[in-house]
Amino acid sequence: MKHKPGKYIWFSLACLAWFILRVGARPTRIVYPCQRVAAAQSGWFLYAFLAPAFVAFWKGIKNFFSKHFKFIVIAGCIAFASFTGYRIYGQYKINLLRSQAGTIPALGVPGSAQPLDEISFVSFRYDPSVFYGETPPYDRAQNPAYDLVWQAVEDLQLGSSSNPLDGIIDPGDTVLIKVNLLGFNRPQYTHPAAVRPVIDMCIAAGAAKIFVGDCGQGFTNAKT
């Protein structure tokens, strides 16, 4: 006795419709034995629908590559050459700017550097014996990290030692101090002991308004 696949496909389609109708209204019904059987029988319809589509897609890919093989090879070579040239040029520009603006020294040595955009500056200081202050308002008297942050900004030579940001902040300016205030289960945030000296620098430079914030990609339960 020969079996006709068409009958199984229609039966499978009916099972799929029954499954969607019953489970869609109440998802808890998916554990019912009848719904499990209907879900299993629905595979015939999915197979009959997806298999021809996959075969047609595969044939289309093969025909496309066979007809445009030379074009694909040439385009790939051009893309590879462009990407390689871009990387080489980027490294050359980095080396050029480093030779003009100085390089970042090894960790543990104070230093600064000017990144590629020629607008931002980077500076750091490292001292394992210095720790963050834990008591608000995190001023110089109660915050051992205060002077370390101040010296790191002073290394940029954007102002005087008493007013390190004088060169980029004019009296009356509005300033945004961008910190890290991100995280869900494991929050990541900039310690307020490192933010307080930057706020004082902005005040010393004459900033009229000072905002401290972040882009807000998540909520944090960190206490700051």
Q: What is the pLDDT of residues 63-110, one digit of tens each?
A: 888 888 888 888 888 988 888 888 888 777 767 655 654 444 433 444
Same domain, yes or no: 114 and 56: no
Query: What's the predicted TM-score (pTM) here?
Result: 0.47
Number of domains observed in the structure of the chain: 2
User: By C-alpha distance, which of 162, 158, 155 is closest to 110?
Assistant: 155
What's the mean pLDDT in 145-160?
A: 90
Question: Has residue 156 been placed in a domain?
Answer: yes
**Residue 62 and residue 146 in one domain:** no
Q: Which of 147, 112, 114 is nearest to 129 (CA)?
A: 147
What residues have CB less than 8 Å from 178, skipping those under 6 apart?
213, 214
If asked whether residues 63 and 160 sit together in one domain, one would say no
Whether residue 199 sits in one domain with residue 134: yes
Q: Is the pLDDT of residue 22 over 80?
A: no
Is there a domain that residue 75 lies in?
A: no
Q: Let me know if residue 155 belongs to a domain.
A: yes
Same domain flag for 183 and 125: yes
Residue 74 lies in a domain: no
- Coil, strand, or helix at residue 179? coil
In this prediction, residues 110-123 reach a mean pLDDT of 56
Closest CA to 77 of 67, 85, 87: 85
Say what the pLDDT of residue 203 is: 95
**Residue 222 included in any domain:** no
196 plus 108 within the same structural domain: yes
Looking at the fold, whether 49 and 112 belong to one and the same domain comes out as no
Whether residues 133 and 206 share a domain: the answer is yes
Q: What is the pLDDT of residue 17?
A: 78
114 and 208, same domain (yes or no): yes
Query: Final residue of a domain: which of 38, 67, 96?
Result: 67
Is the residue at 90 inside a domain?
no
In a domain, 58, yes or no: yes
Q: Are residues 62 and 113 in the same domain?
A: no
Terminal Cα-to-Cα distance of the chain (whole angstroms): 78
- Cα(37)–Cα(155) distance, rounded to whole angstroms? 72
Res. 33: pLDDT tops 50 = yes
Domain span at 30: 5-67
Is the domain of 59 the same as that of 132? Answer: no
- Tell me, yes or no, whether 181 lies in a domain: yes
Please tell me whether residues 181 and 112 are part of one structural domain: yes
